[in-house]
């Protein structure tokens, strides 16, 4: 096939070949801008390929989203059709995974949030892609970040949630089981593909990677259980989402609403026009509570604001605005930590005072012993976990709930793990505290879903609400810390490069 001759563009190199088109990198002669041009020879098109092409042009013309490749122009002559698309300068996600072998969970989450935002926009417009795979997720590298763009809408179509399709569409490795088995499926087929993409990002290969197409189709038809590779280490939230996406029966697969609302994605804090406003509103409230010495509410509000500021920093491409956002978030993070330390020290003080009163009311010998212990505690605010547990008694709610847990071993275990999280937090061990809270919630949230109405369920819901709030606050502080560490590393690399 000869190179296309297009008057306004210089054709530079071939980027790839699809089922009915070749894609070239091109530069506009006057504007000097780069584009990707999909070149289709009309004589090679079957009727179904013509239909797919028309659908792709129509959909891309109407879709306008940051994480969907932009259709910039299309035209034709007597032999060829030319589709001018946004040029993505960093290849595709498939090549990126091959280069890295597997991606850290944080990187997987970064790309998955962008993909989810695009899918959410498509669902709002009743569009299903039906060919989501790493090869169709293009990457664009900016000054500070890499963005993902959903491309190749050749199999896409308008399909309302619940409507059924019977045409065979997609790539077998990423194709939902209901397409392979029944040739009858709905929009939720895209969610299976998202699950396969997440699995491949995490572990370097798709869950049903096979030597032959026959072996692949057999594994899908048999509904072979999907397992994690040996020694795989992923968070409970990541594992939960992966498990719920890769469900063979479409009706039992996670819903779109639950997918978009899943805590691993946390799309509510995903950068948008409203995110900065939300962050500023939260900070304003935090400062008001701070000035009124309502430190607990101020702490939670500062941490909530960080949930919005950190993603904004990650997505910001302008260096000055990025630095300004970073400085603000660091100030709020430091103030949140100061407040938390103040709260902990205040509780130490109150405990010491209670111990002192108890000592005075006791016998002289016991009073002397307890007074010494209180004095030692004041001199050594950081104690061992055993001493901390002895010193910091749990609140009444926890005690009541624990007393009702003896008939339910899993409830008792979850409460004990959550209590460890509280003690780690008092020791300022944030990573250990978050790990304990996350483990506890992983046990207790499923438990409460099956718990009948009553006093124990009410107490458990209150305890869960408190621990979720604490875990989210710790996560916000840690994400701000990690971002600052990454920025410092980048600054070091840049300064070394300049020298």
The backbone region for 119, taken as left when phi is positive above 0, alpha when psi lies in -120 to 50, beta otherwise, is: alpha
Distance between CA atoms of 106 and 299, rounded to whole angstroms?
25
CB atoms within 10 A of CB 465: 10
Residue in this structure with the two tokens 């032959």, named with its chain if needed: 212
Residue in this structure with the two tokens 């938390």, named with its chain if needed: 340
What is the Cα Rg of the chain in Å? 28
Phi, psi for residue 82 in degrees, rounded to 5: -120, 125
| Residues labelled as active-site residues | 131
Distance between CA atoms of 428 and 297, rounded to whole angstroms?
19
Phi, psi for residue 169 in degrees, rounded to 5: -135, 145
* Run of H or E including 372: helix 364-379
Which DSSP category does 60 fall into? H
Dig out the tokens for 295 from the structure: 């430190």
Residue in this structure with the two tokens 């008792």, named with its chain if needed: 412
Which of these, 179, 183, 169, 100, lies nearest to 136 by C-alpha position?
169
What is the distance in angstroms between the CA of the first residue and the CA of the last residue of the chain? 48
For residue 293, give Cα distances in angstroms to 8, 297, 298, 301, 338. 66, 9, 8, 13, 13
> Distance between alpha carbon 183 and the CA centroid of its chain, in Å?
31
Dig out the tokens for 455 from the structure: 């006093």
Which DSSP category does 395 fall into? P
Distance between CA atoms of 93 and 111, rounded to whole angstroms?
9
Dig out the tokens for 128 from the structure: 């299903």
* Run of H or E including 455: helix 455-498
Dihedral sign for Cα 56, 62, 67, 72, please.
positive
DSSP β-ladder status, 146-150 and 34-41? unpaired
Which of these, 135, 117, 26, lies nearest to 73 by C-alpha position?
26
């Amino acid at each position: 096939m000869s190179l296309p001759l297009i008057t306004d563009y210089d054709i530079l190199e071939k980027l790839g070949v699809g089922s009915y088109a070749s894609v070239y990198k091109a530069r506009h002669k006057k504007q000097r801008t780069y584009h990707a041009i999909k070149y289709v020879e009309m004589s090679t098109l079957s009727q179904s390929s013509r239909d797919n092409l028309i659908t792709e042009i129509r959909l891309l013309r109407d879709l306008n989203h940051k994480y969907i490749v932009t259709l910039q122009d299309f035209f034709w002559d007597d032999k060829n059709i030319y589709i001018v698309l946004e040029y993505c300068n960093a290849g595709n996600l498939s090549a990126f995974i091959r280069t890295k072998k597997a991606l850290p969970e944080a990187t997987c989450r970064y790309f998955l949030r962008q993909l989810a935002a695009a899918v959410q926009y498509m669902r709002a417009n009743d569009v299903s892609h039906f060919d989501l795979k790493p090869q169709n997720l293009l990457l664009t590298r900016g000054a500070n970040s890499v963005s993902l763009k959903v491309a190749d809408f050749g199999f896409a179509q308008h399909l309302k949630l619940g409507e059924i399709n019977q045409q065979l569409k997609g790539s077998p490795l990423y194709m939902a089981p209901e397409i392979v088995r029944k040739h009858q499926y709905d929009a939720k087929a895209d969610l299976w593909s998202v699950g396969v993409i997440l699995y491949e990002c995490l572990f370097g290969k798709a869950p049903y990677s096979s030597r032959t197409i026959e072996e692949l189709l057999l594994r899908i038809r048999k509904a072979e259980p999907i397992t994690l590779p040996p020694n795989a280490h992923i968070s409970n939230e990541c594992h939960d989402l992966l498990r719920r996406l890769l469900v063979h029966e479409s009706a039992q697969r996670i819903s779109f609403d639950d997918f978009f609302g899943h805590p691993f994605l946390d799309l509510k804090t995903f950068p948008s026009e409203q995110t900065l406003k939300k962050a500023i509103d939260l900070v304003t409230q935090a400062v008001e509570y701070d000035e009124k010495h309502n430190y607990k509410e101020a702490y939670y509000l500062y941490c909530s604001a960080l949930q919005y500021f950190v993603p904004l920093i990650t997505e910001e491409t302008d260096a000055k605005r990025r630095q300004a956002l970073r400085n603000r978030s660091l100030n709020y993070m430091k103030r949140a930590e100061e407040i938390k330390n103040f709260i902990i020290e205040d509780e130490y003080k109150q405990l010491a005072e209670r111990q002192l009163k108890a000592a005075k009311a006791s016998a002289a010998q016991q009073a002397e012993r307890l007074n010494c212990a209180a004095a030692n505690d004041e001199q050594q605010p950081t104690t061992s976990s055993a001493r901390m547990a002895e010193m910091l008694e749990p609140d009444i709610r926890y005690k009541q709930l624990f007393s009702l847990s003896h008939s339910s071993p899993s409830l008792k275990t979850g409460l004990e793990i959550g209590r460890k999280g509280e003690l780690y937090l008092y020791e300022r061990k944030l990573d250990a505290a978050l790990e304990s809270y996350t483990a506890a919630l992983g046990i207790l949230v499923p438990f409460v879903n099956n718990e009948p109405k009553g006093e124990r369920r009410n107490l458990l819901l209150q305890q869960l609400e408190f621990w979720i709030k604490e875990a989210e606050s710790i996560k916000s502080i840690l994400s701000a810390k990690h971002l600052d560490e990454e920025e410092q590393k980048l600054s070091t690399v840049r300064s070394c490069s300049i020298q």
